[in-house]
Chains A and B, each alone.
Chain A
Amino acid sequence: MKSAVVVFPGSNRESDMARALTQATGCPPSMLWHADHELPAGTDLVVLPGGFSYGDYLRCGAIAGRAAIMDAVRAHAARGGLVLGVCNGFQILCESGLLPGVLMRNANLRFVCRMQHLRVERNDTAFTRQYAKGQTIEVCIAHGEGNYEADDATIERLEGEGLVAFRYCDSAGKVGGEANPNGSRNDIAGIYSDGRNVLGLMPHPENLIDALVGGTDGRGLFESLASAA
């Protein structure tokens, strides 16, 4: 598994992401700059990390979504290559057209930073093989714009084609209600592209890889990826 992490001006979770990838795959990812035009030869997985690219100017992820490197990321995804976007990375994937919909301001207008349970919707993808279908995992969230919105036709398609990756739930696995931290449609925390080779999610699995700091429920995602290629 050869991975690469794209760093934009204002990214701040790239080191956490690199640590998680190194732990799972045994080798550190290449760190790419937003102005690069190519991915390193043989890249299997491209990761867009969290942060505040371009200070969230205009709209979250809007300017990063049009950065030079994104043409290479789009081409990689079109070839079936794996792409992971976490938090601001998810916002960038939506703004770049790699995933449908948009992340709006949290419905309660508050930045939320807390531990959060998620339900794993399916475990037959490159990102979730090490989890069980329907498993509840505990990771963390830290965002002000994580309220996933799309038009009704898009939501219907995501649901109908099994493209919802994770939903917000409580510790017992009950989806929605108070467990939804941001007003996201259908309690959506993460979605796949049509080919399920692109995943965007608001929560931070890369921060839950060490028992010393909160838990290890995020490891499954990286171990799944490590065994995928």
Chain B
Amino acid sequence: MKARVVVTLKSGVLDPQGKAIEGALKSLGVEGVASVRQGKVFDVELAGADASAAKAQLQAACEKLLANTVIENYQIDL
């Protein structure tokens, strides 16, 4: 089973990398960009086929390692 985990910064957390990308887009003449926030995507292949078990495993993976929940949120898509 394939899953995608998206980790993003919580709102309110300063994101200097996103700000730099936002500035670069503006200097490239890409119009209409109000703001950019940078995050991470993890494509995970799971051995089992049970969706609820997979969700629980990925939740544990996020809590233990993939996200720092002090500053980041995560979303699991199966």
* Residues in A lying within 8 Å of B, measured CB to CB: 58-59, 62-63, 66, 95, 100-102, 104-109, 147, 149-151, 183
Contact = CB atoms under 8 A, between A and B. Distances in A.
A108 B16 contact: yes
A149 B13 contact: yes
B70 A59 contact: no
Contacts of A104: 13-14, 16, 71
B68 A106 contact: no
The prevalent SS among residues of B at the interface is: helix
Contacts of B20: 109
B39 to A, nearest CB: 12
Interface in B1-58: 13-14, 16-17, 20
Interface residues of B, number: 11
A183 B64 CA distance: 28
B14 A107 contact: yes
B41 to A, nearest CB: 13
A151 B14 CA distance: 12
B16 A102 contact: no
Contact of B14 (A59, A62, A149): A149
B48 to A, nearest CB: 23
- The 3 tightest CB contacts between A and B, nearest first, are A102-B70, A105-B16, A109-B16
